[in-house]
Amino acid sequence: MKEQRDPLMNIRIQLCFLLGLISGSTLFAADFSMRVTDKNYLNTQGFSVFLYDSTYHPVFVDQKNTAMEMILHGARIATNGDVRLMPTPEQWDLVATLKGRHADKANNRLTADLAFPSFDLSYTLEVAAEPGGVKVSINLDKPLSEKLAGRAGFNLEFLPSIYMGKSYLVDGTKAGIFPRTPNDPMVKVLPLADEPKKAYYLEDWDKAKGYTQPLPFAEGKSITLGVDDTLARVNVVSDTANLMLFDGRDRAQNGWFVLRSLIPSGKTSGAIVWHIHPDVIPNWTRPPMIAHSQVGYAPDFSKVAVVELDPQYNGPKTAKVLRLMEDGSYKQVFEGPITPSTPWLRYVYSKFDFTPVKDPGLYVIEYANQRTAPFPISKDAYANIWQDSLDHHIAEQMDHVSVREGYRVWHGASHLDDGRLAPVVGEQFDGWNQAAATDGKYKGGDHIPGMNVGGWYDAGDYDLEEPAQLSVIQSLALAYREFDLKYDELTVDEGAREVEMHRPDGVPDTVEQVKHGALLILAQFHNIGHSIRGTHEPDLRQYTHLGDGASKTDGRIYDSKLGPNEVRGDYSGKPDDRWIFSTTNPFFQWNAIAALAAASDVLKGYDAALAKDCLDTAIKAWNDEKAHPTPSPVSGAGGGAPANAPAAGVLAASQGVVSGSHTGAATASSGTVAQPTPATPPAPPAGRGAFSVGQDWAAALELTIATHGAEPYKSRLKELFPQMITSQQMGFRGWTAVRALPYLDASANDQLREAVKTYVADLNKQLDATPFGVPPSLGTWGGSGAVVDMAIRMYFLHKTFPDLVGPEYTLRAVNYVLGTHPVSSTSYVAGVGTVSKTKTYSNNRADNAYIPGAVIPGYIVIKPDFPECIDDFGFLWFEDEAVVAGSASWVLAGNAADAITKEAK
């Protein structure tokens, strides 16, 4: 909610701009002083400055969440404040190496020691409190080299969604509006002759783009951003070189507005000096945020909202529930206390329990003059929360087919030229790596026939990440079998490579999606002989492609004998075919066996021949793996790297791998950067603690079910069972043992019961760590996947042991995803709920749009203590990237919530 402007503001602005040209003056009325906090950042009420509380990510590099950052009136308005060698650097451009950081509480000053070793450039970045703001200085160890003159400068990036359409003033007189669409003149900035070489794919990418950079759209000594926005107004004055405003979106749609000053030649101390003065509202406190489920609640179950409050806010001790009547009026039906506040990160939290409200109808929660959007109380509140994920997001992500919805074509039949065995080129972007030059009869660069079928785009990109494929198959197979999920809204014609939304064809959508995934995995076994690491783009130009997946490649098989633009039938001389990455990691093989076995069980009755093929292939692979085990890879070989984010989906839950998050093995050091981009992480190498225990458990479980308890799978289940129900494994994959109980001795039930008792007691202690009662998001990737995983896991434990595990775990997790979480009450499921995320990091993000049913990762903590999930900006993948495995998991979780609420009917 915007603050109302003071009627004398225009006079204030005119007077203050006269003062703004005086170095270090206080431009705005609030003359505040900042202090270094115990968490080592500069702070005053309403304004915070961080300095390298986190570093550029060793894999993803520039994530727009490090260096100097500013939080003004509860929003992170700026990031990446540091020396850069480009006006509008992209994710893959060079970043400095952090040598050390210091917090000087006595002088209220933060400093960071940094360097570009490959350019022999070392310097200190200093941010010091001064009246009304901060003074920012760059102090070089020695004068700038000639080669960096005109190239090295101090950049500070401002969030476009806050400032576009808002006004700015330069030197108090030159006015402008931040553009909604970038349209600045572009110029070439060629690399230096002796510039250190980049990775081959970066060199190729630069050539393809033409080495262009935009010219500034504003320049002067003093610039005020957001003049017309009370909450985002900030003035910057430079004592040294001019300030220049650039539009980073001229180079990439995810660019930010960049404020920049070039470092002058010949200077060391004070080479850059800026004075940054925000217009901080005196005694500002963040308005209360009422977190609740945006789809509402079932009448006979717990209803708890969480109120997020500024620690300085002194609000009422009660909240109300109002019923929205037919004539649009509101009638109070309940008033109750909020609990005493509990601090967590930078805010405090209270709970409001309104469980007694049970009558079906529309309601809002009111607290401290804040009202939520309307939500229903209904017996079928959770009945449809998963449908968009199944028949929109997962459907739109289908590869090798066209996908149409009414008048709209989401994309044409894509990647029909798949694929070529990846050559050995060393570490590729996104952490991918081909370790071997050959695989069976194929060598690097060879076309592998039959690989242009099935599978789903992983996320906001178009990779076929193997863990994601296997996870989707297993999740949807389980959803179909557990909930008898006969929902049908798609027509899928694999032969014609066509998919139509909103057109039932008599076959359940879960069955058709399981088939689509099985076709891809079978193609791997039939044409290569085993599962693979995945299929990935050969270059960055193709990788950064947004829009129709069918336009990424020409759809023709590459023939090196043809010229670059030559076409001959189904062949062309264009090497745009995606690369197939092989692997020697047994994780992929065992989980491919599990996926095929699960698929065979689902496909019976719909496609008997394909069901038999899946089961026969899974059994043969099982026998081969038992006879000749796949050796564990050397760390990093074959694209394998440990996953480090919360799990999502059946594959992840049973194997401890994140389906649909980021990973990679490269590091940033010595002035060079690893090149990260969004991807699903590969499996962890074998032999790593919990990962190595019972790698074949999921395969044994699914084969046992598919063969109705046949040997040797049933015996292997019995053998592994004690290992699966240890304290270490229960929350990891041991919970899936409930599905094995029908095939085990009667004593197994008692053993599992005792394991569940211990697990629940330990889990309750962990969940008490946050006000929301779910696993916290404390990593570099939002944590909604771990919460969805909890919903699934606890549903199955509740179903088996209802006296030990109540329904509240699953419903609390689902309500979290639907809005009961930090920062805002926006539903993390795009298009689901009264207020939901409508700008996501999906493949249509350049349109500032979303794909219905996409589930975003949600908030992360901008270190050290700022939780963030920006509603109106979709270009931060760690908050917004929707992955296909996450949607499949949500289909399971949503049906679980619905099934639980139906228990009371």
How is 616-680 classified by DSSP, letter by letter? HHHHHHHHHHHHSPPPPPPTTGGG-----S--BHHHHHHH--BTT--------BTTB--------
Cα 111 from Cα 889, distance rounded (Å): 44
Residues 6+ apart with CB under 8 A from 699: 590, 591, 593, 594, 597, 618, 622, 713
Mean pLDDT of 55-79: 93
d(CA 875, CA 878): 9
pLDDT digits (tens, 9 = 90+) for 461-516: 999 999 999 999 999 999 999 999 999 999 999 999 999 999 999 999 999 999 99
Confidence band of 678 (pLDDT split at 50, 70, 90): very low
Q: Comparing C-alpha atoms, which of 491, 505, 506, 487 is closest to residue 404?
A: 491
- pLDDT score, position 630: 77
Amino acid identity at 441:
K
Residue 164 · residue 179 · CB < 8 Å: yes
Buried b (16+ CB within 10 A) or exposed e, 506-531: ebbbbbbbbbbbbbbbbbbbeebebb
pLDDT confidence bin for 650, thresholds 50/70/90: low
- Taking alpha carbons only, the member of 184, 189, 187, 183 closest to residue 152 is 189
- Enter the tokens of residue 757: 């008792």
* 131-145, 568-582, 659-673: segment of lowest average pLDDT: 659-673
How many degrees, rounded to 5, is the angle at CA 96 between CA 92 and CA 102?
140
- Tens of pLDDT, residues 232-250: 999 999 999 999 999 999 9
Percent of the chain with pLDDT over 90: 82
Amino acid at 489: E
Q: How many residues are recorded in the chain?
A: 905
Which of the four pLDDT bands, split at 50, 70 and 90, describes residue 14?
A: very low
> Residue 745, class by beta-carbon neighbours within 10 Å (0-12 exposed, 13-18 middle, 19+ buried)?
exposed
Are the beta carbons of 224 and 168 closer than 8 angstroms?
yes
Provide the β-strand partners of residue 580: 421, 535
Give the DSSP H or E segment for 206. helix 200-209
CA proximity to 356, closest of 304, 316, 308, 319:
304
Average pLDDT in the chain: 90
Residue 28: what pLDDT? 87
Closest to 432 in 3D by CA, of 647, 680, 205: 680
Residue 48 CB contacts under 8 Å (≥ 6 apart), including other chains: 41, 42, 70, 71, 866
Query: Bridge partners of 579?
Result: 420, 536
Cα–Cα distances in angstroms (integers) from residue 58 to residues 631, 827, 858, in the given order: 28, 31, 22
Determine the pLDDT at residue 330: 98
Condensed to tens digits (0 to 9), the pLDDT of residues 854-873 reads 999 999 999 999 999 999 99
- pLDDT given for residue 430 in this prediction: 84
Helix (H, G, I), strand (E, B) or coil at 258: strand
pLDDT per residue as tens digits for the range 793-849: 999 999 999 999 999 999 999 999 999 999 999 999 999 999 999 999 999 999 999
Whether the pLDDT of residue 645 is over 80: the answer is no
Residues 510-537 pLDDT 10s: 999 999 999 999 999 999 999 999 999 9
Range of weakest confidence among 154-168, 388-402, 626-640? 626-640
Give the residue from 779, 720, 776, 760 showing the smallest Cα distance to 744.
Answer: 720
Structural Rg of the chain based on CA atoms? 28
Q: How far apart are CA 685 and CA 688, in angstroms?
A: 7
Residue pair 847/410 in contact (Cβ under 8 Å)? The answer is no
* Pairing mode, strands 361-367 and 442-443: unpaired
Helix/strand/coil for 875:
coil
0.95 surpassed by pTM: no
Give me the pLDDT at residue 26, please: 59
Q: Are 607 and 515 in contact (CB under 8 A)?
A: yes
Quick one: average pLDDT of 887-894? 98
Alpha helices for 486-580 (secondary structure H): 509-527, 540-543
pLDDT of residue 833: 98
**CA atoms of 793 and 730, how far apart (whole Å):** 10
pLDDT reading at 16 higher than 60: no
In this structure, the dihedral spanned by the alpha carbons of residues 767, 771, 776 and 779, taken in order and rounded to 10 degrees, is: -150
Lookup: tokens for 712: 């040797």
- Give me the mean pLDDT over the 269-273 stretch: 98
**Which amino acid, 140?**
L
Half-sphere exposure of 14 (CA within 13 A, CB side): 3
Confidence band for 209, pLDDT divided at 50, 70 and 90: confident
pLDDT at 59: 73
Q: Give the confidence band of 679 by pLDDT, cuts at 50, 70, 90.
A: very low
Looking at residue 668, its pLDDT comes to 28
C-beta of residue 889 within 8 angstroms of C-beta of residue 649: yes
Structure tokens at 747: 């004593």
The reported pLDDT for the residue numbered 651 is: 54
pLDDT at 55 over 60: yes
Predicted confidence (pLDDT) at residue 900 exceeds the cutoff of 70: yes
Q: What is the pLDDT of residue 199?
A: 85
Written as six digits, the tokens of 449 are 């026939």
What strands, in cross-sheet order, belong to the sheet with 257-262? 35-36, 42-44, 47-51, 68-72, 75-84, 153-158, 257-262, 243-247, 218-220
What is the distance in angstroms between the CA of the first residue and the CA of the last residue of the chain? 41
